[in-house]
Amino acid sequence: MDALSKLIAVSGVQGSLDLRCRMAGSFALDHEQLEPGKAPFHLMLRGTAQLLMPKGEVLELHTGDFVLLPRGMAHVVQGIGDGASTAVSMDNDGPLPERRNTTGPADMDLLCGHFTYSHGGAQLLMNTLPDALYIPMAELEGMALLDSIVTTLRREAIHLDQGSLAITKALSEVLFVLALRSYVSREGLAPSLLGLLIDGRLSTALLAMMKEPGHDWTVESLAHKANMSRATFARHFTEKANASPMDMLAAIRMQLACDLLLAGDLSVDAVAEQVGYQSVSAFIKTFQRRIGMSPAAFRRHGAT
């Protein structure tokens, strides 16, 4: 498994469709800040609209465009078509709720949903992304796979046959992976965890950490995985990731610890040992610093 696939897998990202919006003329659809662990997304099936961010940023959305807000930021989707604003209704009769202000031609046909992810996964992946991850279709011109996904999503959202929601949910997760792939391939990518993925040797070391987080890794052993000297590896890793190899290893271990605390009945001592900590007190201290609460409190909080 490649490093990006492994990163997505351990992050526990799952897609869910919420509704379809068919709007015409002038409209403004408010979206409130979502709770931690939820990231809304929009896919423009057909038409145009604007997405307004809290600090005044404006994104122009066109057919095929995808936008993800990793930290659930509040935003407004507004129309740019002619005509006066009309009342918006919600139709909950079908498998997928539909919000609309017209029964005629729509200026915007928008598929809306959200991704959920685990606490640790937020640290490893979502927090490395910009406030709005915007992937315009023009940027991926000639990418037949994306074209086919958008076409299929549009068809399934319109017809809603048996199994349509399962298909659209699965394809939305594929779209998420394609968006990440596009993002990490951009020039001038800011130093972050994702910066490691575009370096063949560094991604080998990252993948080793994710596959065996409980291993007694050292900078030397990770440098050996990357086929680099210790000093060169540490320097390039920090430049690409904006974190030292040991800091990144601790973040990965905390991801696994979060999953183990929530998914099973292992004691804190057993979780500490499984993620590579010989000292329980050191594990608790690191967990408290990175997650913001003790392992026991995290488990109680997650169970409520």
User: Could you tell me which of 287, 198, 285 has the C-alpha nearest to residue 241?
Assistant: 198
Distance in angstroms (rounded) separating the CA atoms of residues 38 and 163 = 24
Which tens digit of pLDDT belongs to each residue from 138-159?
A: 666 555 666 777 778 777 877 7
How much is the average pLDDT of 17-22? 90
Q: Where are the domains of the chain?
A: 3-184, 193-303
Residue 293 DSSP class: S
**pLDDT confidence of 123, banded at 50, 70, 90?**
low
Q: For 226, what's the count of Cα atoms within 13 Å in the CB-facing half-sphere? A: 29
User: Could you tell me which of 138, 141, 241 has the C-alpha nearest to residue 184?
Assistant: 241
Matching CATH number, 193-303, of 3.30.43.10, 3.40.30.10, 1.10.10.60, 3.40.50.2020:
1.10.10.60
Q: Are strands 75-78 and 133-135 parallel, antiparallel or unpaired?
A: unpaired
3-184 against 193-303: fold identical: no
The answer to whether 194 and 184 have CB atoms below 8 angstroms apart is yes
Distance in angstroms (rounded) separating the CA atoms of residues 280 and 198 = 35
For residue 87, with 0-12 CB atoms within 10 Å meaning exposed, 13-18 middle and 19 or more buried, which class applies?
exposed
Residues 152, 158, 162: CA angle, nearest 5 degrees = 80
Average pLDDT, the chain: 86
Share of the chain above pLDDT 70, in %: 91
Which tens digit of pLDDT belongs to each residue from 86-108?
A: 788 998 887 788 999 988 888 99
Distance in angstroms (rounded) separating the CA atoms of residues 290 and 23 = 43
The model's pTM is 0.79
Residue 9 to residues 125, 135, 176, 212, 258: CA-CA distances in angstroms? 11, 22, 12, 14, 14
Q: In this predicted structure, what is the pLDDT of residue 83?
A: 63
How much is the average pLDDT of 244-272? 89
Highest mean pLDDT among 4-8, 31-35, 158-162: 31-35
Q: What is the architecture of the domain spanning 3-184?
A: Sandwich (2.60)
Q: In this predicted structure, what is the pLDDT of residue 144?
A: 66
More reliable by pLDDT, 224 or 168: 224
